[in-house]
Amino acid sequence: MAFSFLARDAGRTHVCGHRGYSLHYPENTLPAFEAAKAAGATTVEIDVVLTADGEPIILHDLTVDRTTDGHGFAADLRLEQIRKLDAGVRFHPAFAGTKIPTLAEALDWAKADDMGLVLEIKEAERPDIAVDCVAALLRSTGTVDRVIVISFDHVVLKRAVERHPGLRTEAITHARHADLVGVLKACSASSVSIELDMFRPDGAKALHAEGFSNRVHVPRPDVLAEYWRGGRDRLPELVQWIADGLMDTISGDDVPFIAMLVSRAARAGSASPR
């Protein structure tokens, strides 16, 4: 049975660890992915760039400076050089020795652990080549059914679907569009990624009516606390939207927090009169 990103087909709202459990583990690493699953995630969001020799690796930035002990653009480093970098020690000494994973390693992990992957194309210089490499790996590893490819670049997504029929894609948008369904149809995407501030129930219903899914990124509790301190609690409506089946995936850095929201919504849904 194919992995579905639509809550109504999957029978659950997915919990998505943004770059894994990135709040307490080094982002985009296998320890972060494993911790996300342990905390309740059913999917993880990862980022892909290419090395100088064309290997897809899991890295958010174009350079390795922020997250590793190395320096330079990933596109200028060969895989063997990337493998020598420490992707954990900058986050915390306890993670010293953690490596930047290849996409192949992430796919093997997702398949073995029955997880979905939300795969963002971050490659800037060779995005179409990156998509082709990703699609080839998905086919060779038998993981096409559990991956959705996402990007801010909707033109890249459109070309990706044209070249690779059957590839599922998700368009990232940080705006509330007047015709969100039209936006997805224009780039042949099957899902949209939006921020919580841009979510509206009527928009979700319009998406679902056309067979599209959504992924809603929820801020960390410390950010939401600004609302609470001002006497505004966003959680009740958020939990109700999840309970009503309007949100297909909830994404965030604090995986236990979003898992708690989904669990609370499940209880609220089961307690509601039918």
**Catalytic site residues?**
18, 60
Tell me if 234 sits within 8 A of 254, measured CB to CB.
Answer: no
Residue 263 in tokens:
């669990």
Q: What are the backbone dihedrals phi and psi of residue 250, each rounded to the nearest 5 degrees, phi first?
A: -110, 125
Residue 168 in tokens:
């599922």
- How far, in Å, CA of 144 to CA of 146, rounded? 6
Beta partners for residue 116, in sequence order: 43
- How far, in Å, CA of 64 to CA of 237, rounded? 39
| Residue 72 CB burial class (10 angstroms; 0-12, 13-18, ≥19) | middle
Query: What do you get for the CA distance between the two ends of the chain, in Å?
Result: 29
